[in-house]
Homo-oligomer: A and B are copies of this chain.
C-alpha cells in the first residue's frame, strides 16, 4: 500500500470533523474528533490549542464565502445583505448556534462582520449603548430565523381553520411556497424600518 500523500490531520480536518459531530449530535469533544480523523488526541494539540479555538475556527468556517457589501452601500442595504448571509450561514449548521453564542467572538473575519454592522448602525444615527443593543437585536433575529429555517413545514399541529386564530394562521400560511422565507422577509423589513425610526428619534 502506498503511503498517503496527504497527512490525515490538519487544522481543516479538525474543524471539519468537529463541525460534522456538532451537526450530528449537538456537540463535539477532542477524543471524538481524534477518533473520527483516526489520529491520537495528543496529535490534535499540535494543530489547535483546544476546544475554544476549534469553535472559533468553526465560526469562521460557517461564514466562509459570505460576500462583503461594496464600500458606499447604504446602511440599510448593508444590514439587509449581512443579516441574510448571517441567517444562511447558521441555517446550514443550526446546532452550532448555542455553542457559538456562549463563547466570546474572536475570529477576525467575524469581528470584521460585526464592525461592518456597527459602522452601518452609526451611519443610521445610533450612538452610545444603543449600538450594542441594535447588534444584539440583529443577532437574535438572524440566529432565531436560521433556526426557524430548520423548522418542519408544519410548525404547529392544529386543525387548519377550525375556528381558532392559530388554525387560521396555519391555513393561510399553508399556501405559501416558502413559509420561512416569507416570514424572514417580513421580519427583516419590520426590523430595519424599526431601527430607522428609532435612530431618527421617532
Contacts and interface: CB of A to CB of B under 8 A. Distances in A.
Interface in A30-71: none
A50 to B, nearest CB: 16
Interface in A57-98: 94-95, 97-98
Indicate how many identical chains form the complex. Answer: 2
Interface stretch (A2-10, A11-19, A113-121): A113-121
Interface string A87-113: 000000011011101111110000100
A125 interface: no
Contact of A105 (B114, B144, B155, B187): B155
Given A97-B147, A137-B183, A140-B147, A118 B165 contact: yes
Given A22-B26, A26-B26, A98-B147, 13 more contacts: A95-B98, A97-B97, A102-B151, A104-B156, A114-B156, A121-B169, A122-B168, A129-B173, A133-B173, A136-B187, A141-B187, A143-B143, A143-B147
5 contacts: A118-B166, A118-B169, A119-B165, A129-B182, A136-B179
